């Protein structure tokens, strides 16, 4: 069963050692960088980043980082929204359906509005990231255009 667990003193080391394939390394920041950003968010932002290790039963298989923006903070639209900033499944566990199950879980979590109501979810991915494009499209994400600064395609799901 897929479960999101918080990052603790017991599991953070394992989390930062989760691996992508060489081809995927350029697609997203490392888990170390993401956890460093969560720390900065914790000290400076009103709402902490929602950062979790993804487990299949007792095995850690991936990592996810989500956030909540008010309508004013949202850089892609004009509504209160959630975002999935990082999402990865360790290379050993890819292509087995875990990414699909974990994204399902993430959207259930977001729909529980843990940091307040919102009407959309945003995320972005490298244009050549076919696996991500396909996975997100399955869940109804629609591409809304390039974020030229990040050189990533932005996609939106209306809740």
Ligand X SMILES: CC(C)(COP(=O)(O)OP(=O)(O)OC[C@H]1O[C@@H](n2cnc3c(N)ncnc32)[C@H](O)[C@@H]1OP(=O)(O)O)[C@@H](O)C(=O)NCCC(=O)NCCS
Q: Measured from the CB of residue 103, what is the shortest distance to ligand X in angstroms?
A: 8
The answer to whether residue 82 forms part of the interface with ligand X (CB under 6 A) is no
By the 8 A CB rule, do 134 and 31 touch?
A: no
Contact code string over 91-120 relative to ligand X, x by CB under 6 A? ---xxxxxxx--------------------
The answer to whether residue 60 forms part of the interface with ligand X (CB under 6 A) is no
Nearest C-alpha neighbor of 98 from the set 66, 51, 123, 61: 61
Contact pick of 12, 16, 20, 30 for ligand X (by CB under 6 A): 20
Residue closer to ligand X, measured from CB, 16 or 117: 16
Q: Measured from the CB of residue 24, what is the shortest distance to ligand X in angstroms?
A: 4
By the 8 A CB rule, do 117 and 80 touch?
A: yes
Residue closer to ligand X, measured from CB, 65 or 118: 65
Q: Give the 3-state secondary structure of residue 40.
A: helix
The answer to whether residue 131 forms part of the interface with ligand X (CB under 6 A) is yes
Distances (CA, A) of 127 to 1, 31, 93, 130: 31, 21, 23, 8
Interface ranges with ligand X (CB under 6 A) = 20, 24, 27-28, 86-89, 94-100, 125, 129-132, 134-135
């Amino acid at each position: 069963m897929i479960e999101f667990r918080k990052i603790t003193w017991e599991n953070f080391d394992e989390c930062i050692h989760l691996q992508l394939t060489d081809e995927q390394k350029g697609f997203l920041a490392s888990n170390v960088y993401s956890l460093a950003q969560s720390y900065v968010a914790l000290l400076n932002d009103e709402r902490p980043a929602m950062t979790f290790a993804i487990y299949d039963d007792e095995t850690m298989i991936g990592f996810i980082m989500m956030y909540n923006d008010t309508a004013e903070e949202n850089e892609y639209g004009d509504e209160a929204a959630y975002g999935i900033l990082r999402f990865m499944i360790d290379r050993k566990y890819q292509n087995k359906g875990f990414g699909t199950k974990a994204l399902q879980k993430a959207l259930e979590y977001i729909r529980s509005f843990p940091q307040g109501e919102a009407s959309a979810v945003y995320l972005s991915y490298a244009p050549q990231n076919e696996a991500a494009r396909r996975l997100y499209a399955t869940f109804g994400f629609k591409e809304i255009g390039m974020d030229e600064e990040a050189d990533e395609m932005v996609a939106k799901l209306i809740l």
